[in-house]
Structures are given as structure tokens and as C-alpha cells.
A and B are shown apart, each in its own frame.
Chain A
């Protein structure tokens, strides 16, 4: 059975149907790239899955459980993590403190009352090494470079150990090397984590994607391997025809 299933998902803002009857299903451990021209509803789809926006129609199933009306924090506890387009870290907190916030296996008030020290071993150390922030442990996140902040947010998602990770343009503002490194991390997460990545950078998509979903005007346009999708006439039409400013 699919881990995540969207059934006829719709949301309407005023008169605009941002997402319109979207069906999508993801297997456990799959990495799915979400493509589409501007305004196709990609970010809105992520918002719907993580609970930031409430759908006006359709259903979201995670592990067969209906999540459509669950508040944000409960979805996070079930295992849905989200990375935003602009790096959204706690700028007033240090790197370690940010990661401690992200270590949220026990998010209750009472269990938080008993934690006084951030353990730097184990998972925290692994994650820090992976994103190479080991030297910046006590730097305030607001003082990191843009790239480092993106890394920190990714590290926070790893720390959160979300089973489904939603990434909105994770490589925005990264150098080529940083982007490649990010791709390697994503590839290593395949199998253990399910990921949905919204991305415009096609070389990055080629590096990580197995299956690609293309959205247009709030609905599903095409789905398949990169080659299949690239040769799909409907996709070419969507990109080059009306919305076309050539992302692909």
C-alpha cells in the first residue's frame, strides 16, 4: 500500500483553484520530484500535505490514516517534515539549539521539562558531520551564510527524523558544489525516508529523481521517468505554450 495518498485534493483561494482534484500516491522510501511551471500549485500541494493550508475538497491519507483535518503539529508528530523555500531557521538560536528544537521525538511539555543539555553524540554528531556545521555549533543561526542556513534547515529535518520530507526548492541559492552534495545526501536518504522535492534545477533533478510528477494549473499533467516526461507533448506544451518561461 502507498505511504502517502492524495485523493482528489483541491483548494480554492477566492475564485482561484490553486490545486484542483490532484491524485498522487507515493511508496515508502520513494523520492519524487514535483515539477511544473510557476503557479502550477506545487508549493500549495506541499502546504496541503503538511497542514499549512486546509483543503476545500479531497483527502490526504498517510499510512492509510486520514490526515485531512489534522492540525500542523499533529501531522509533524506522525512524521511529516517540511523545508521552506527561503531558509526558515531560528536566527536568534545557535546551531545546536536549532537542532535540539528539531530533535522532537518527544515533543510534549513534560518530557521537555526534563531535558537540560543537548547531547552532541549519536544522531546529532552524524547530522552535524553530514552538513559540515561542526565548527559552528554555538554560532547564532542568523550569522550563518545563506548556504549554511539551507544546510542547517536540511539538518533539522534529518534531526526531526521525519518519515516524509517535503522540500521546497532545497538548493535555491546554493553553489554547484553545494547542490551536488545536497543531491548525494538525498540519494543516501532514499529507502529510509520518503521525499517530495519541488525543484526547478533540472540537472539536480536528474541527479536525484527516479519518478517525476509534472503539475499544471493545479492538476496532474504527466508522471514517469525523466525521459518519458521530457518527451511528453503535453508537458512541452505546458512549458513552452502558455506558461512557458523554460524551466525545464
Chain B
């Protein structure tokens, strides 16, 4: 039984990381229909920022989060203004262009700091474990679960309770009419993109104690996160959250039943099935363009 709960917690922990990566992607895809394959590189940049700030300024991960959010958000803003904004009417082409951006960002990092793995220390206050019976949970992973839920809540608040959110939702539903009411859609898009990128940066910083940081770390993360967004349903934060939980737990379960790799394969095949039979996702957005 303990094995089961340990595995379930591992799934939850994975889900929390997926959720943070996927949230940014969900906003960018949901709002603009842009399939941002550079999102994995935003995560990677967040991870490297955490490493830089810790190694050179001695800042801990938690202390540097706001700074990382801003830094990666600004890079996202530059990417949107420089490239993505020209492609809003060609959604499939955004796959190609953002992949190119990903290559460039990866290579810049590789040239700047090399391609060796980097490690970032966990915040000391979150050292240690909580043990309930035979179930051992690391404090840091527990923290991640709660942190990802609060990021979800903050995003929900931003989208539904602020002026920016209202405008964004108006633009998502009808760009032309929103423009007629004086909403500057290009500015809204740019901000939404930057926010999504910033979230990716935070996610990247927070995973550094768990994985090794390399320039290529984002490539497969973005595929997973994108599958989560599609499974959840475009434009649905709840869907993204539920899908992260499902994918995380399913991966843990299948890995337990088979092995890590085949578990992942099984989850991928299940996701393919889901997309095939429910392309609008688990929580389809009822009004969309």
C-alpha cells in the first residue's frame, strides 16, 4: 500500500511541474492560437537564470523567482514583438518559427555557458522529508505542489478578475470587435505572451533542484506540456490543471506497472487516443472565435 501512495505522490509531483510549464503554454495557445515550441527554451532559460543568480549572486531559488519571472518575461516579449506577431494569421507556421527560436536560444546558451550539466541547490528551509507511515514525501516536492496550485489560482485571478484579463478574454473571443472598442489587441497579445514566458521561467527555476540543467532540457518538456494543453481543452485553465494531474498520475501508475519508458509510451498512446476521439479536449471552451 505504501508503494502505491509513494507512486501517487511521485505522480502528483510530476503533475505540479507539468502544470507550471503547461499553464504558460495554455495561455499563449489559448489566447493567440500560437503553438510555441520555444516554450521549452523559456523553461530552460528560467533554469539557467536560477543557476546564474545562485552561482554568481548567491541568491536562492525562492528569492530569485520574481527576478526570473521578469527576465524570461522580457525575453518572451522580445520574441513576440520580433517574430511571433507577424504570424498570427498563420498558426501552423508558428510551429516552425518558434522551433527556430528554440534552436537559437539553445545555441546561445550553449555558446555562453557551455553544454555541461549544471546543478542548483535546493532552498535549505525546504530540506527534509515528511513521512506518514511508510510514505516519504520530500518537503520540496510538497512545496512544488502547493506552489503550482497557487500559480494556477493567480493566473485564474488575473484572467477573470482584472481589467487585463477581461480585455484578453474579449480579444480571444473577437479580435475585430475588441479593436472597435478601443482595446489595443497587439499590446494585449504581447503582454499575454510575456506572462506565459515568465511562467515558464518560474517553472524552469523550480525544477532545477530535481533535474540537471542542460541547454536541451526543454525539448521534450514542451512536447509533454503541449499534449497536456490539448488534452485539457484549449482556453480552459481548469482543463490544463486536470490534464496535468491525469498525465502525471497516469505516468506514475503505468511506470509502476511496466517500467519508466514503457509507462511513458503508454501515456503517449493514451493521449493520442484522447486527442483523436476528443480533439476539443476534456473541458472544451464553448465560445471560441
Q: Do chains A and B touch in the complex (CB under 8 A)?
A: no
